Amino acid sequence: MIHKRGPLFWLQLGFTLFVCAFLIVPVILSILAGVTNNYFTGISSGFTLRWVVEVWTGYSDTIFLSLWIAIVCLACTLVLGVPAAYVLAKRQTALTRAIEELMVMPVAIPGLATALALIVAYGGLSGFRTSWAFILVGHVLFTLPFMVRSVLAVLSAIDLQTLEEGAASLGAGFWTRFFTVVLPNCRTGILAGALMVVTLSVGEFNMTWLLHTPLTKTLPVGLADAYASLRLEVGSAYTLVFFLMIVPLLIALQWFSRPRSRAHAKPESEG
C-alpha cells in the first residue's frame, strides 16, 4: 500500500530546501567569485585559477601555520582533556562538578576578552608573545572544554566502574586498565572531540585576531586581510582554498569516528 504524502510533508520539505539554499547559495557564489576573471562581470568574464595561485603564493604560510597549530592543539587537548574527563567521570562530587563548569568558562567568555587577558598576563614575555605558541595557548583554552565534554559524555554513559573492576580482577594495573579498557571504550568521544578541536582551531578568528603578530598570521586572519585590502576575487579564492583544506579533513575525521562494523560470521556448514 502506497502512503500518500500530505501537504504537511511538502511544506516541511520546502522549508528544509529553503533553509539549505539560504545557507549554501552564498558559499557557492563566493567560491565562483574566486574562479572568475571579474566578479562584477560574473561568469561571462570566464573562469580562471589565477586568484587561487595568487592566494597560494602569498598566503600559503598562513595555511600551514593554521594546520600546525590545529595539530599541536589537538595533541594538547588529548593529553590534558582525556585524563581530566576520566577523573571527572570517576569522581562525581560537588567539587568535580564545579571544576567541570569552570572549564566551560573560556567558551562562555568572548574570545576577545580571553585574548586580552592572555596579553595582559603574558604579553611582557617578548619571545613568547611573538611566537605561534602564544596563539596555541589561546586555542587550547578555547577548545579544551569541547574535548572534555565529548569524552565525559561517553564515559558517563558506560559502566566504567564495572569494566575497571573486571580488568583489575584479571590482574591489570592502572595504566593497563587505562590504555586497554578506558581509552577503547571512549574512542567515539575522543574522535568527536578531535573533530571539534581541529575545526574550531583552524577557523578561530576572534581570539587569534588579537593574539597574532605580522609573522604569525593564521588562515582566518589572512582571509580577513584578503577581503579587506585586496580584490574581492582574491578573498573569494582564499575562501575556496579554505574549503579545499577543511572539507577533506572533516570527512576524514567523520570517517574515523564511525564505529567499525564487525566481520560477518561465516555461515554454518550444512550437515
pLDDT at 231 over 90: no
Q: What is the pLDDT of residue 137?
A: 92
Q: What is the pLDDT of residues 56-81, one digit of tens each?
A: 887 788 888 988 999 999 999 999 99
pLDDT at 221 over 90: no
Question: Cα separation of 258 and 187, whole Å?
Answer: 10
Which grid cell is 164?
Answer: 575497571
**203, 246 Cβ separation under 8 angstroms:** yes
Q: What is the pLDDT of residues 89-107, one digit of tens each?
A: 887 777 777 777 777 777 7
Let me know how long the chain is: 271
Coil, strand or helix: which one is 47?
strand
Coil, strand or helix: which one is 115?
helix
Confidence of residue 2 (pLDDT cuts 50, 70, 90): low
**253, 198 Cβ separation under 8 angstroms:** yes
Angle at 15 between CA 192 and CA 19, to 5 degrees: 50
Q: What is the DSSP letter of 269?
A: P
Q: What is the pLDDT of residue 134?
A: 92
Which grid cell is 204?
Answer: 578561530
Q: What is the pLDDT of residue 30?
A: 77
Q: What is the pLDDT of residues 98-155, one digit of tens each?
A: 777 777 777 778 888 888 888 888 888 878 888 899 999 999 999 999 999 889 888 8
Q: What is the pLDDT of residue 266?
A: 47
More confident residue, 72 or 232: 72
Least confident of 69-83, 157-171, 189-203: 157-171
Beta carbons within 10 angstroms of residue 77's beta carbon: 28
> Domains in the chain and their CATH numbers?
23-257 (1.10.3720.10)
Task: Identify the H or E element spanning 101.
Answer: helix 94-103
